[in-house]
Structure 1
Amino acid sequence: MKVLSYLAFLLVFMSCQSQTKELSLNAKPSKAIAVFASGCFWCTEHVFEAVYGVDEAVSGYTGGTIKNPTYHQVGTNQTGHAEAVAVFYDPKKVSFTQLVDAFFASQDPTTPNQQGPDVGSSYRSIAFYGNLGEKKIIEDKIKALTLAKVFNNPIVTEVKPISAFYEAEAYHQDYVKNNPNQGYVKGVSIPRFNKFVKTYKGKLK
């Protein structure tokens, strides 16, 4: 009976571990998409969903090579993936440049493979681009922040082309909104968001 119970548990566990899927990055008519990684995706998602013109931010994994990675696999820092968000937005209301501003205003881009208390390559800072124009916007922003000496240390944010994006497990979506009293949310996500609100110069919802 114990063997059967263990096998049943294993099957359920394996099923739960394979609930990710590749997210289509084909934007809807009149909409656009941007992808950013800046530490825990609970925090990053909450930030971008507060920006005016953003319809939705989806938590997921990207930047690596393994298909359909799970949260556990990405957390081992062996997949090459980073926790990230796919931001669906209306370019008539908010520009890619403004989203890049929000990206840098909501994190410390000078800490390699780390954001706050979260350490590992899955928490590294990455700004993804869909075309050369977006790449230039990101690189120009990094140069401007460097010249203005906004940060005490060099910016280590990676600038990479958008690649396959895997939507994270359902319980990660809107995590801060759905779990306001969770310890990490209260101790890390909310303070980070409040700091962003004070720093970001763009329009919020």
Structure 2
Amino acid sequence: MKKIHLYALSLLFLAGYAQGQSNDHAPAKLPDLKSGEAVATFAGGCFWALEEGMNQLKGVREVVSGYAGGTVKNPTYEQVGTDRTGHAESVQVYYDPKVVSYPQLLEAFFAGHDPTTLNRQGPDAGRDYRSVAFYRTPEEKAAIMAAIKETNESGHYSGKVVTEVTPLTVFYPAEMYHQNYFALHPNQPYIQSVSLPKVQKLRKAMVGHLKNSTSLTMVD
């Protein structure tokens, strides 16, 4: 996602408009929170991979891609891509805490991206791709800090975690065409080269907590 893909996305938009599908560029609607559910919000680079990875966990009902951490109201993908809104590409996870705990979501989050690279994930650079763990309660903040300490002490990464720990103010859902993008476009070059390895990494770390144990594979 990435500037080299904006032109292709623009072409897709024009084609969709011609076919009466322009609503794909309308923002998605947030689902209602069901009884007993909880919600968590994370940013870890391109939201296509993080959405797919989190959605594969047992106990997760739905994941919505969107924008958080900035000051501009109702931002568009194009605005966030300028890196001037303060927002990061983020995901909001609706889950059953009786099946998957918040610390387990944090484990998946820290496994599904590189939390040691400042304002960058792989080929994607800018604060809109920064690593952020948003919290809603003091308990969530404490869990995030504990997860960062554990990640640093594990030696899994050569560098130290630079993930921001930030209270959530508002989450804006991204456009409809971004939702479930990984699942709907598995052969897209960016998905294959950048997103898929991140999802595979998350799955490897969360064995035993997956809805489906079938491995994802690269397309030749």
Normalising by structure 1, what TM-score? Answer: 0.87
| Kept after mapping to 1: 8 A contact 2:47/2:65 | yes
Residue 43 of structure 1 corresponds to 49
**Which 5+ residue runs of structure 1 have no aligned equivalent?**
1-8
Q: Which moved more, 1:179-188 or 1:166-175?
A: 179-188
> How far apart, CA to CA, are the structure 2 residues paired with 1:27 and 1:143?
31
**Which 5+ residue runs of structure 2 have no aligned equivalent?**
1-13, 212-220
| Kept after mapping to 2: 8 A contact 1:31/1:90 | yes
Partner SS for 1:87: strand
Residue 151 of structure 1 corresponds to 157
After the TM superposition, which parts of structure 1 deviate over 4 Å for at least 4 consecutive aligned residues? Answer: 15-18, 21-24
Equivalent in 76, 79, 98 of residue 104 of structure 2 = 98
Residue 143 of structure 2 corresponds to 137
Partner SS for 1:74: helix
> How far apart, CA to CA, are the structure 1 residues paired with 2:24 and 2:81?
13
CA deviations over 1:16-58 (Å, ceiling 9, x no partner): 898337847x732111100000000001100000011000000
| Kept after mapping to 2: 8 A contact 1:65/1:81 | yes
Aligned AA (1:192)? K
| Kept after mapping to 2: 8 A contact 1:37/1:124 | yes
| Kept after mapping to 2: 8 A contact 1:34/1:87 | yes
What's the RMSD between the two structures over aligned residues? 2.1
1:86 and 2:92 matched? yes
Aligned-pair distance for 1:201? 4.8
1:64 and 2:109 matched? no
Equivalent in 104, 111, 125 of residue 117 of structure 2 = 111
Residue 184 of structure 1 corresponds to 190
Equivalent in 75, 79, 100 of residue 81 of structure 2 = 75
1:20 and 2:7 matched? no
Aligned AA (2:27)? T
CA deviations over 1:159-180 (Å, ceiling 9, x no partner): 0111211110000000011111
Aligned AA (2:75)? P
> How far apart, CA to CA, are the structure 1 residues paired with 2:25 and 2:209?
38
Residue 125 of structure 1 corresponds to 131
1:54 and 2:53 matched? no
Q: Which has the larger radius of gyration?
A: 1
Residue 6 of structure 1 corresponds to none
Partner SS for 2:134: strand
Aligned AA (1:180)? P
| Percent identity between the two aligned chains | 50
Normalising by structure 2, what TM-score? Answer: 0.82
1:204 and 2:219 matched? no
Aligned length: 192
| Kept after mapping to 1: 8 A contact 2:24/2:177 | no
